[in-house]
Amino acid sequence: MFSEQEKEALYKIIYTRRDIRTFLTDPIPPEAIMNLLDAAHHGPSVGFMQPWNFILVTREEIKARLAWAADKERRALAIHYEDDRQDQFLSLKVEGIQQAPLTICVTCDPTRGGSHVLGRNSIPETDMLSTACAIQNMWLAACAEGLAMGWVSFYKKNDVRDILGIPPHIEPVALLSVGYTEHYPAKPILESANWEKRKELHALIFHDAWGVGENSTP
pLDDT tens for each residue of 7-24: 999 999 999 999 998 899
Q: How far is CA 124 from CA 113, 128, 136, in A?
A: 13, 9, 20
Could you tell me the pLDDT band of residue 88, with boundaries at 50, 70 and 90? low
Residue 218 lies inside a defined structural domain of this protein: no
pLDDT at 141: 98
Residue 97 resides in a domain? yes
Domain range spanning residue 90?
15-204
CA pair distance 154, 174, nearest whole angstrom: 9
CATH number at residue 187: 3.40.109.10
Please check whether residue 156 is in contact with residue 76, taking contact to mean a CB–CB distance below 8 angstroms.
no
- Is the pLDDT confidence value at 90 over 60? no
In the chain, the number of structural domains is 1
DSSP the chain: ---HHHHHHHHHHHHH--B------PPPPHHHHHHHHHHHHTS--GGG---EEEEEE--HHHHHHHHHHHHHHHHHHGGGS-HHHHHHHHTS--THHHHSSEEEEEEE-TTTT-S--TTTTT-TTHHHHHHHHHHHHHHHHHHHTT-EEEEE--S-HHHHHHHHT--TTSEEEEEEEEE--S---SS-HHHHTTS--PPPGGGG--SSSTT--TT---
- Asked whether residue 216 is domain-assigned, the answer is no
Residue 8 lies inside a defined structural domain of this protein: no
Q: How far apart are CA 146 and CA 159, in angstroms?
A: 31
Q: What is the pTM of this model?
A: 0.88
User: Considering the domain boundaries, does residue 1 fall inside one?
Assistant: no
Whether residue 190 is contained in a domain is answered as: yes
Q: Is residue 46 in a domain?
A: yes
